[in-house]
């Protein structure tokens, strides 16, 4: 049984100028231990599709799907309280802006322990011990002392490590990482990607990596979905996608990689004819 299975997912938003379809008819499956990348430029509906899975879209959104199951359980029809037991525990998500994703008013220790309080039966002392263990696991030095730091007292890379600690606190079966390294500088990006891959392997999680960066795809993914304007353009295992891209859009994304540069400037997506192409 697939960990997550989605068939024909669409998401529309009510806006002042009418209905805007951000996601149109997306199919997706991911198994345990698999790394699936969803790649596409800004605005292609990658985040919205995953926020629909998490049930985190505003009420201006209309979500429809023929199927959306997690370990065979129907996410579309389950009650909000049933869904809350899964989201944040079995399915966790980390976001692009680590500093903005943490609450500035609470220490990082409180925020980790609060997740443990909501989703586990651990007592206060055990939650504290687990929080120290988690900070160590994500590579933060002086873990016990750093629990009392506020987000603004930490760097962007450290805040992203804290976000990862919160996400993995309850040993999720599926982790969704939404552009987890985009806001970080290049050396830190590599460290965070390495950390995510190490944790994914060690805990046997399914990992959905949302990115616009084909370099990140090459380094992390087993399988790739390419998304453009809310629609799936192509899906393939990572080697096939890089060696034999089927859609113009995938070719455009690949040509924008610095190592594929041939002329004076890098091509952009606008250099490729996209209309009507898969």
Ligand X SMILES: Nc1ncnc2c1ncn2[C@@H]1O[C@H](COP(=O)(O)OP(=O)(O)OP(=O)(O)O)[C@@H](O)[C@H]1O
d(CA 212, CA 183): 13
Q: Which stretch binds ligand X (CB under 6 A): 42-50, 145-153, 154-162, 196-204?
A: 42-50
Q: Does residue 22 interact with ligand X by CB under 6 A?
A: yes
Q: Does residue 12 interact with ligand X by CB under 6 A?
A: no
| Nearest-5° Cα angle at 172, 166 to 173 | 155
Binding to ligand X (CB under 6 A) within 56-75 occurs at: 58, 60
When binding is defined by CB under 6 A, the residue of 12, 45, 157, 172 that contacts ligand X is 45
Sign for the pseudo-dihedral over CA of 141, 134, 180, 104: negative
Binding to ligand X (CB under 6 A) within 204-223 occurs at: 212
When binding is defined by CB under 6 A, the residue of 1, 17, 42, 80 that contacts ligand X is 42
Distance of closest approach, residue 49 Cβ to ligand X, in angstroms: 7
Q: Does residue 44 interact with ligand X by CB under 6 A?
A: yes
Ranges of H-type helices in the chain: 46-54, 80-86, 98-101, 108-119, 124-137, 143-146, 156-168, 186-203, 214-220, 238-243, 248-255
Q: Cβ(157)–Cβ(140) under 8 Å? A: no
Q: x-or-dash pattern for ligand X, window 161-190, by CB under 6 A?
A: ------------------x-----------
Nearest to 208 by CA among 198, 196, 195: 196
140 or 217: CB nearest ligand X: 217
d(CA 58, CA 52): 10
Q: Does residue 101 interact with ligand X by CB under 6 A?
A: no
DSSP reduced 3-state for 228? strand
Count the Cβ atoms, other than its own, within 10 Å of residue 45: 24
Q: Does residue 20 interact with ligand X by CB under 6 A?
A: yes
Nearest to 182 by CA among 216, 151, 154: 216
Q: Does residue 13 interact with ligand X by CB under 6 A?
A: yes
Q: Cβ(195)–Cβ(227) under 8 Å? A: no
53 or 138: CB nearest ligand X: 53
22 or 65: CB nearest ligand X: 22
40 or 157: CB nearest ligand X: 40
The site for ligand X (CB under 6 A) is made up of: 13, 15, 20, 22, 40, 42-48, 58, 60, 179, 212
């Amino acid at each position: 049984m697939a960990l997550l299975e989605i068939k024909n997912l669409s998401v529309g938003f009510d806006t002042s100028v009418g209905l805007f379809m951000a996601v149109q008819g997306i199919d997706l499956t991911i198994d345990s231990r698999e790394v699936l990348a969803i790649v596409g430029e800004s605005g292609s509906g990658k985040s919205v599709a995953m926020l629909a899975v998490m049930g985190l879209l505003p009420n201006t959104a209309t979500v429809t799907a023929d199927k959306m199951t997690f370990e065979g359980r129907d996410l579309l029809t389950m009650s909000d309280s049933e869904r809350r037991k899964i989201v944040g525990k079995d399915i966790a998500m980390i976001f692009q802006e680590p500093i903005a994703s943490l609450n500035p008013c609470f220490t990082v220790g409180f925020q980790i322990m609060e997740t443990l309080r909501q989703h586990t039966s651990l007592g206060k002392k055990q939650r504290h011990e687990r929080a120290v263990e988690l900070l160590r696991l994500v590579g933060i030095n002086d873990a016990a002392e750093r629990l009392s730091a506020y987000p603004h007292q930490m760097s962007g890379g450290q805040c992203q490590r804290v976000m990862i600690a919160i996400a993995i606190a309850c040993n999720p079966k599926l982790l969704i990482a939404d552009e987890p390294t985009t806001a970080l500088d290049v050396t830190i990006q590599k460290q965070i990607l390495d950390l995510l891959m190490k944790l994914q392997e060690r805990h046997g999680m399914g990992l959905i990596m949302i990115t616009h960066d084909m370099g990140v795809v090459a380094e992390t993914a087993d399988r790739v979905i390419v998304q453009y304007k809310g629609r799936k353009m192509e899906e393939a295992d990572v080697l096939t996608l890089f060696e034999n891209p089927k859609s113009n859009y995938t070719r455009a994304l690949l040509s924008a990689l610095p190592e594929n540069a041939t002329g004076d400037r890098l091509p952009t997506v606008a250099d490729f004819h996209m209309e009507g192409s898969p």
